[in-house]
Amino acid sequence: MKRVAAIHDISGFGKCSLTVAIPILSAAGLEVCPMPTAVLSTHTGGFDGFTYRDLTQDLIPFAEHWQSLGIEFAAIYTGFLGSAEQINIVAEIIDKLAGKDTLIVIDPVMGDYGKLYKIFDKNMSDNMDKLARRADILIPNMTEAAFILKEEYKEAPYTDEYIRHVATSLSDMGPAKIVLTGVGFDEEHLGAVCYDKETGEIKYHFSEKIEGIFHGTGDVFASILLAAVLNNKTLDEATKLAVELTYESIVETQKTKKPTREGVDFEKILPRLIAEVL
């Protein structure tokens, strides 16, 4: 069984980060070892008064214990990090835990729609490029890509030329593979792009665009992508599956008419994920 170290926060309510990554990766037949970066009562999008317990001081001892046990990981998967300091620490943890075949998958969670999430500041975005460089697969949305490149954020619709510029510039920093999310060329479709530096190939996958801000969909997308890649799908196949199943999760959620801050019902797509990857 392949093992994944999942380095994200855990938010008790609102379905994101570890409460999304663990079930998706487990359903796909992968062993998940969570390393929580922080414990929150809810995620930070759309809730006030959430609790926030920062676990920065625990991360290195956590990793050193795993290291002392000689645990080997097929992948290290990082997402929401609570501070600029945690970015440097997670880079150090990757050095400690990665073997020569460990896949480093980094979702540089920082913001969306051109803005940083509530608890982040410029110090955080200025540092994220240091971690992004370490990725084998980097999965930013278009906002995070702009912050990492220290370029101005551009709103969709995009041109092929701009998307190619963003993907190749990010990969020039280090990562062999880039998957950009939140890409649209028109008002009706939204999807993702995968770029492989080795082949120079860029592939697009779209679904119908659903208006609204759906919390946790970045985590659903990245977790499905990793689940598929570790089950030997190509990056292109994994990106296509992640676009389709993230879209289906939103469609399922919309049927319930619940507030979008409560996250998406990715649980409903787990049977299809299992059928596709196992």
The nearest distance, CB 216 to ligand PXL, in angstroms, is 5
Task: Please list every residue from 40 through 59 that binds ligand PXL, using CB under 6 A.
Answer: 40, 43-45
Of 107, 111, 148, the C-alpha closest to 4 is 107
The nearest distance, CB 249 to ligand PXL, in angstroms, is 13
Q: Across 84-160, where does the E strand assignment appear?
A: 103-106, 111-112, 115-116, 137-138
Q: How many residues bind ligand PXL (CB under 6 A)?
A: 14
- Kindly write out the interface string for residues 17-36 of this chain, putting x where it contacts ligand PXL by CB under 6 A and - elsewhere: x-------------------
197 token code pair: 């530096």
Q: How far apart are CA 25 and CA 32, in angstroms?
A: 7
Q: How far apart are CA 191 and CA 144, in angstroms?
A: 16
Please pick, from the candidates 7, 16, 242, 264, the single residue that binds ligand PXL as defined by CB under 6 A: 16
Amino acid at 112: D
Please pick, from the candidates 87, 89, 94, 219, the single residue that binds ligand PXL as defined by CB under 6 A: 219
* Contact status: 276 vs ligand PXL (CB under 6 A): no
The nearest distance, CB 186 to ligand PXL, in angstroms, is 26
Of 143, 146, 200, the C-alpha closest to 170 is 146
Residue placing its CB nearer to ligand PXL in the complex, 13 or 185:
13
Task: Please list every residue from 100 through 159 that binds ligand PXL, using CB under 6 A.
Answer: 109, 117
260 within 8 A of 221, measured Cβ to Cβ: no
Torsion of CA 50, 36, 174, 104, to 10 degrees: -140
Residues within the interface to ligand PXL (CB under 6 A): 9, 11, 16-17, 40, 43-45, 80, 109, 117, 216, 218-219
